Structure formats: structure tokens, C-alpha cells
């Protein structure tokens, strides 16, 4: 089974659209009624469904360092790279890593 992604509410909808055009399984906070919920709920949803959480929120790095169980975190500091570059890097993760290789890991985009 390939990697599946979950985008927190601060990730551009263009990222979700680009992944979907490539038939990559992705949910967004809006899709699953998680807009406005706290970060712990976002991470819990992604972990429960085996989805790599895509975020620009550094709180998730802290959760990771504190030992939170997760299916993977793809992190990019807000404004650090253009949307197209972010999309390409997520596709690269999808193409190169298996879910079990991404589990418990942080990839910096």
C-alpha cells in the first residue's frame, strides 16, 4: 500500500488538487471536518488512518520530539518554498518511501 497524506488546514488546496491529479490518496482538514480543531486532534486523525501529516506548524515537530506516535510528518516552514516545489517533494516522498518507512519519521520539505 502506498503512502497516504493528510493536509492540515494551513496547507494550500492546490497541494491537495495536485496530489489528486496524480491519483495520490489525500485528505484535508476541510474534507474530514477538522478545521479549527487543535493540533493533537489533527495528529490523532492522521495516525489513526495511517496518513502522513503535511504541515507548516512547528508544534508537530515538538510532538514528534516528545515521542508522539504518528504515521509520519512532512514539514515545511511557512513561505519557505513555493507551492509547486512543495508538491514535487510530496510526490517524491510518495514515489520513494513506503508507509512503514515514513512511520514515526519527519521529512523536511
Q: Is the Cβ–Cβ distance between 92 and 83 less than 8 Å?
A: no
Cα 96 from Cα 68, distance rounded (Å): 24
* The pLDDT of residue 79 is above 90: no
Distance CA 97, CA 55 (A): 18
Q: Which CATH number fits domain 5-108: 3.40.1350, 3.40.50, 1.10.3470, 3.90.700?
A: 3.40.50
pTM of the predicted protein model: 0.94
pLDDT of residue 62: 95
Decide if 99 contacts 24 (C-beta within 8 A). Answer: no
Mean pLDDT estimate for the chain = 95
The answer to whether residues 23 and 1 touch, using CB atoms and an 8 Å cutoff, is no
- pLDDT on residue 1: 86
Between CA 54 and CA 28 the distance in angstroms is 9
Amino acid at each position: 500500500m502506498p503512502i497516504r497524506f493528510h493536509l492540515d488546514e494551513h496547507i494550500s488546496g492546490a497541494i491537495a488538487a495536485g496530489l489528486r491529479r496524480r491519483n495520490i490518496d489525500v485528505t484535508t482538514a476541510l474534507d474530514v471536518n477538522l478545521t479549527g480543531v487543535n493540533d493533537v486532534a489533527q495528529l490523532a486523525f492522521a495516525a489513526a488512518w495511517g496518513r502522513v501529516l503535511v504541515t507548516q506548524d512547528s508544534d508537530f515537530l515538538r510532538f514528534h520530539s516528545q515521542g508522539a506516535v504518528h504515521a509520519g510528518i512532512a514539514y515545511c516552514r511557512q513561505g519557505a518554498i513555493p507551492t509547486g516545489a512543495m508538491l514535487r517533494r510530496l510526490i517524491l516522498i510518495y514515489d520513494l518511501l513506503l508507509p512503514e518507512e515514513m512511520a514515526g519519521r519527519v521529512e523536511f520539505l
